[in-house]
Amino acid sequence: MRSGTITGKKPSLAALRTEFERAADPTTAKALSRFFKTGKGEYAQGDRFLGLMVPQTRLLAAKFRGLPDKDIFALLRSPWHEERLCALLMLKEKFLRGGTKEKAGIYRGYLSNTRFINNWDLVDITAPEIVGGWLKDKSKRPLHELAASGLLWERRIAVLACFKFIQVGESSDALAIAGKLLSDGHDLMHKAVGWMLREVGKRCSETILLDFLRENYQRLPRTALRYAIERFPETKRKKLLAGIF
């Protein structure tokens, strides 16, 4: 498969889906299904895989980058994980290149289709740029609404979107969202919260991180705490795990 956009003819959704079918690999699909926890009672129950690795999907997203928005959103509603990932990669790339009007449309479309952004990789690869990127100079109220959602993936979007703010040294919104989600019962949220807290310590201030951990130590899920402090030396980590600040 060659990278680059299609030349000589207009890209079509049908042609893209044909390429997905050609690249499908049942053996890889089974492995991906296990890795992404698609079994009964697991967090991605019922998700289906064609069997493409991420680099293959990225190449298809680049090759069909001229696909109209309506077709990209149709692809996002696909039952196949790799097709949804491809659609999200296209939306992210269009968002980064687009003007204000196009960015606004992509942001709205993204949040209108969160039920299809239904695994951690799909959230993590797009929420910082599309949701965080749009809200960086706007009210963060939508993030607080997402953080209160009954849908796991919307809560994860709220956390991951904060990475965009953390990257420029702004920690207040990330800490506010993290504080609201300390009582979340899902391990995937514990990991996401811990990850963003770690980034606060790395990119903003270790003092701010340690103050937050001290104030919330009794409420912090163990997984979140371990993620948040993993950059510290071992002796410091042991003290923090024991609540010694």
Domain finish residue from 125, 150, 170? 125
Average pLDDT, the chain: 95
pLDDT at residue 66 tops 60: yes
Say yes or no: 196 and 92 in one domain.
no
Say yes or no: 5 and 97 in one domain.
yes
Say yes or no: 116 and 169 in one domain.
no
pLDDT at residue 55 tops 50: yes
- The tally of domains found in the chain comes to 2
Say yes or no: 112 and 136 in one domain.
no
Long-range contacts of 231-234 (CB under 8 A, 24+ apart): 231/198, 231/201, 231/202
At residue 8, the pLDDT reads 54
CATH (domain of 2)? 1.25.10.90
Range of the structural domain that residue 225 is part of: 128-245
Model pTM score: 0.93
Neighbours of 133 (CB within 10 A): 19
- Which tens digits make up the pLDDT trace of 93-132? 999 999 999 999 999 999 999 999 999 999 999 999 999 9
Give the integer Cα–Cα distance in Å for 113 and 220.
31
At residue 83, the pLDDT reads 98
At residue 177, the pLDDT reads 98
pLDDT at residue 7 tops 90: no
Say yes or no: 98 and 144 in one domain.
no
